[in-house]
Structure 1
Amino acid sequence: MTEVVQGEVVAIRAQALDTHGRFVISARHNHFVSDAKASAGGPGEAVQAGELLLSSLASCGLALVQKEADARGVRLAQAEVAVSFERDPEDGTRYRAITLDFALRGVPQQTAQALVDAFTGTCPIYNTLRRGGPIAARVRVPD
């Protein structure tokens, strides 16, 4: 059974730097640089927003697959996932498709599918994207 933390709030902070289109992202005590795409006026060198989205899916996917494997007493010889998106050519504000391709070695296909089903059944990132869940953008102007 998956542990769900009721009312859990996770937050990050991002700040624009002096280089236009470059940002420092802070998550707890971890800090990294992210760039806007060159086509959006940024440097396009550091990891970009869409890549961060894909990375979060990959990280959640592998973490939950491993957690479920441990719960079942299954030993994975290797676990990988490749995640991609395709932007909708008719509506640039959305993705036409987001695909996760898992490669799980050391288990039969049926077990591998059950491990991935555990991920898709519990990952809030995956399920929010799948449902097109609620999102809000608020703004304030500090003094």
Structure 2
Amino acid sequence: MQKLRPPPVSLLDRYSGTGFAPVYATRVTVRGGETGHGRASGVARSDDGVLQVDLRLPPALGGPGGGTNPEQLFAAAYGACFHGALQLLATRNGIALPSCSVEVAVRLGRDPVDGHHALQADVTVRLPGLQQRVAEELVRATERVCPYAKMVRQGIEGTVRVVVTEEAGDAAN
């Protein structure tokens, strides 16, 4: 088994191109499962098969629990990205963070703007042993480079595409 290593600090190097330049892409497909409803009984599977999770409604939404949900997946992704960016910035600045942690609390709630639903997310960064000023500067810098923090603050570019097929088997494409 190959020894795990952190990514190179060069990921922090500024890009000066004129358009979005992807450095990694993935695809996750969600199917509806037993109820035909992705959130209630779905399965989320990545294109490489490494991620495969059962999706279930949590008890707070009237479900049985027993699986993960979109809010947990978002919180995990946001926390992992923020933690990674934080570590890269600390490494570049010669700061050791042996026991830092990032906790992301995500809430699904009713949106008074349109009457539907919205998400709120709060990030708590624990940096034991650092001076308060250094910790705050490091976290503020991380907010500027972490793609998830940027997405939460600025939104995200994307599209929604509709594909209608005649056979259920075509849905995998």
* Cα gap change, 1:38 to 1:75, in 2 (>3 Å): closer
Partner of residue 113, structure 1: 136
For 1:84 and 1:31, the matched residues in 2 are separated by 22
TM-score by length of 2: 0.69
Partner of residue 12, structure 1: 27
1:44 to 42, 55, 65: 65
Partner of residue 3, structure 1: 13
Residue pair 2:71, 2:108 contacting (<8 A) in 1 also: no
The residue type paired with residue 141 of structure 2 is A
Q: CA deviation at 1:127?
A: 1.0
Give the secondary-structure state (helix, strand or coil) at the position aligned to 1:127. Answer: helix
1:94 to 108, 118, 121: 118
- % identical equivalent positions: 20
TM-score by length of 1: 0.81
Gaps of 5+ in 2: 1-9, 36-40, 167-173
The residue type paired with residue 123 of structure 1 is C
Residue pair 1:33, 1:47 contacting (<8 A) in 2 also: yes
For 1:94 and 1:136, the matched residues in 2 are separated by 19
How many residue pairs match? The answer is 142
Q: If you compute each CA radius of gyration, which structure gives the higher value, 1 or 2?
A: 2
Give the secondary-structure state (helix, strand or coil) at the position aligned to 1:24. Answer: strand
Q: CA deviation at 1:25?
A: 1.8
RMSD over aligned CA atoms reads 2.6
Q: Please say if 1:128 is aligned against 2:151.
A: yes
For 1:115 and 1:127, the matched residues in 2 are separated by 15
Q: Please say if 1:32 is aligned against 2:32.
A: no
Partner of residue 75, structure 1: 96
Give the secondary-structure state (helix, strand or coil) at the position aligned to 2:34. Answer: coil
* Cα gap change, 1:28 to 1:42, in 2 (>3 Å): farther
For 1:16 and 1:43, the matched residues in 2 are separated by 18
Give the secondary-structure state (helix, strand or coil) at the position aligned to 1:62. Answer: helix
**Counting strand residues as a fraction of each chain, which structure ranks higher?**
1
Gaps of 5+ in 1: none
Kindly report structure 1 stretches of 4+ aligned residues shifted beyond 6 Å.
39-42
